[in-house]
Amino acid sequence: MNIYDIAKLSGVSIATVSRVVNGSDKVSPKTKQKVLDVIREEQYTPNVFARGLGLDSMNTVGIICPDVADAYMAKCVAILEGKLHEYNYDCILFCSGRGEEEKKKYTELILSKRIDALIMVGSAYAGHGEDSRETDYIRKAAQQVPVFIINGYVKGENIYCSYCDDRQAAYDAVSALIRRGKEKILFLSDSHSVSANLKMKGYEDALRDAGYPVRGELKVYTRNHIHTVRDLLLGSRNLEFDAVLATDDGMAVGVIKYAISSGRSIPEEISVVGFNNSNLAICCEPELTSIDNKSETLCYDAIDNLMKVLQGEADVPQKNEIKCSIVTRCTTDF
């Protein structure tokens, strides 16, 4: 028995069930009584209903991410925790890693902690398609509590997603580099996540639209570590490039280190664009042009929608795509 069963037996939507148990006045008395009768008959009291039924809600939201050491995820977790505390909610944080079985295991584990809602941070949870089978465990989780995904989209009832248009952001950055005369643009990535793949697609689309070939040797995957990137490029004597788009600021800083070590001027000989607009972008010299993927906006949007769902509000958007922006600094001349 789960939230879907309650809605089905009542002949209403999940949103209507939520509104009923949270005391919303947007439900007719007849519908409200019908839903409450089903809940009593089935003796079903999941956490998502606890507050509205006056039960022992823990006022706790679960947050799960692949790796809290990642700068982007750490920033999101800090924002989410602070915002939830403003609403008098506590947090439980789990780090799942990126493996499929690990993600399923830790999702089940955090659900066992009597949370009121679950927030998943990172496109690693989006699988390889909005309704792919590898995200079935998220749809299963959403039968117990509302699920909110940051930086990814998974299709399903009781799942709410906030994410940026990474493809368009990469497309715009590469197009700007091309307009400044750059022809051999290196794409640096550390993963094959949905987000990284969308960035690569934007990179490829911009090259094709400008009439340039997509060259396999200019798509490089490496560990997201400043010195690793620097040493990789220093050792790649036959790799010719005049610009770089990196999927994370850390790798972009590695490119800056490489340019300094090899005596190549920035942005004249090499232009560099990073991603995430993190503190790394202003800690390096020269300061880094970076794509701002609006992590604060995504987190605030997720918390606002979470509160609306728990309060039984209707018509909470399940899909919210936000436009990125390019923050220009000294590593580009556009």
Q: What percent of the chain has pLDDT over 70?
A: 93
Q: Do 160 and 302 meet the contact criterion of CB atoms below 8 Å apart?
A: yes
What integer pLDDT is reported at residue 53 of this predicted model?
42
Per DSSP (E only), the strands in 165-308 are 185-189, 219-221, 243-246, 271-275, 289-292
287/289 Cα distance (integer angstroms): 7
- Across all residues in the chain, what is the average pLDDT? 91
Kindly report, residue by residue over 47-85, the tens digit of the pLDDT. Answer: 444 444 444 456 899 999 999 998 899 999 999 999 999
C-alpha span between 235 and 229 (Å, rounded): 10
Per-residue model confidence (pLDDT) at position 3? 66
Overall average pLDDT of the 183-199 stretch: 94
Identical fold for domains 3-46 and 58-163+295-322, yes or no, is no
pLDDT at 26: 76
Q: Tell me the CATH class for 58-163+295-322.
A: alpha beta
For the stretch 18-29, pLDDT in tens is: 777 766 677 888
Residue 304 has pLDDT above 50, yes or no: yes
Least confident of 65-69, 136-140, 172-176, 314-318: 314-318
Domain at 3-46, CATH from 3.40.50.720, 1.10.260.40, 3.90.700.10, 3.30.9.10: 1.10.260.40
Average pLDDT over residues 32-45: 85
What are residue 185's DSSP bridge partners?
Answer: 243
Cα–Cα distances (Å) from 215 to 212, 248, 275, in that order, read: 9, 21, 21
pLDDT per position as a tens digit, 76-125: 999 999 999 999 999 999 999 989 999 999 999 999 988 999 999 999 99
pLDDT score for 122 = 93
User: Is the pLDDT at 319 greater than 60, yes or no?
Assistant: yes
Average pLDDT score over residue span 186-191 = 96
pLDDT, position 8: 84
Q: List pLDDT tens digits, range 200-231.
A: 999 999 999 999 999 999 999 999 999 999 99
* Mean pLDDT in residue range 260-265: 97
**Domain 166-293 fold:** Rossmann fold (3.40.50)
CA distance 317 to 329: 35
Strand partners, 120: 64, 149
Instruction: Give per-residue pLDDT as tens, 1-11.
Output: 666 678 888 88
Mean pLDDT to the nearest integer, 249-271: 97
Give the confidence band of 14 by pLDDT, cuts at 50, 70, 90. confident
CA distance 101 to 119: 18
Domain extents for the chain?
3-46, 58-163+295-322, 166-293
pLDDT at position 59 is 86
Residue 165 has pLDDT above 60, yes or no: yes
Q: Please tell me the predicted confidence (pLDDT) of residue 55.
A: 43
Q: Is the pTM of this model over 0.95?
A: no
